[in-house]
């Protein structure tokens, strides 16, 4: 049986800029904005279109060293992506599967970033703490992008 959790983060930055910074250029910005968590992001296969796979490498403060995720869907106009974990993270140890659906919607002069994560836990695995850490990490990532965009006006305009 699959379960899910969601989180929303409001920003003062426009939806298009947040989407581009957080999802299109995360390979460059992730390690720069969150070096205490992310040591690198590498495109493993593809060109950034659906089917592409990227690997995110983490510092020792994260309980796993990497995660590989496949881009299942992207809509640049609606600022929406869907990704599936294909290797790493808690896949195989606590999770049978994990996907994320992220959408950045305009809100006033800013935007709201919505994440819904769907997962299938391995029988007996306790994922409650991991879900809280996932929410915290996502919020931290979006807030780091918001700060970067505020400090660099016109970037990703």
Residue 42 lies in a domain: no
Phi, psi torsion values for 151, nearest 5 degrees: -80, -15
Which domain CATH number covers 81? 3.30.530.20
pTM, two decimal places: 0.91
| 49/84 Cα distance (integer angstroms) | 14
Residue 47 lies in a domain: no
Find out whether 38 and 141 touch, Cβ atoms under 8 Å: no
Residue 18 domain boundaries:
3-33+74-151
Residues 6+ apart with CB under 8 A from 35: 59
Q: How far is CA 149 from CA 15, 45, 117, 139, 142, in A?
A: 11, 28, 25, 15, 11
Residue 63 lies in a domain: no
Residue 13 lies in a domain: yes
The pLDDT value recorded for residue 156 is 84
Residue 122 lies in a domain: yes
Residue 39 lies in a domain: no
Residue 44 lies in a domain: no
Residue 54 lies in a domain: no
Q: Tens digit of pLDDT for each residue in 113-148?
A: 999 999 999 999 999 988 998 899 899 999 999 999
Phi-psi region of 32 (alpha: psi -120 to 50; beta: other; left: phi over 0): alpha
What is the number of domains present in the chain? 1
Give the dihedral sign, CA 35/37/43/44: positive
pLDDT confidence of 154, banded at 50, 70, 90?
A: confident
Residue 57 has pLDDT above 90, yes or no: yes
């Amino acid at each position: 049986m699959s379960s899910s959790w969601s989180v929303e983060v409001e920003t003062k930055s426009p939806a298009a800029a947040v989407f581009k910074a957080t999802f299109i250029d995360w390979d460059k910005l992730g390690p720069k904005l969150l070096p205490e968590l992310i040591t690198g992001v590498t495109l493993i296969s593809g060109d950034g279109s659906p089917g592409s796979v990227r690997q995110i490498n983490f510092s020792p403060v994260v309980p796993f060293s990497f995660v590989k995720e496949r881009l299942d869907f992207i809509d640049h106009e609606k600022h929406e992506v869907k990704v599936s974990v294909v290797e790493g993270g808690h896949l195989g140890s606590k999770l049978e599967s994990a996907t994320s659906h992220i959408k950045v919607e305009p809100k006033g002069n800013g935007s709201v970033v919505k994440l819904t994560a769907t997962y299938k836990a391995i029988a007996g695995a306790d994922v409650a703490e991991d879900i809280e850490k996932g929410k915290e990490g996502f919020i931290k990532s979006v807030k780091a992008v918001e700060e970067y965009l505020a400090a660099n006006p016109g970037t990703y305009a």
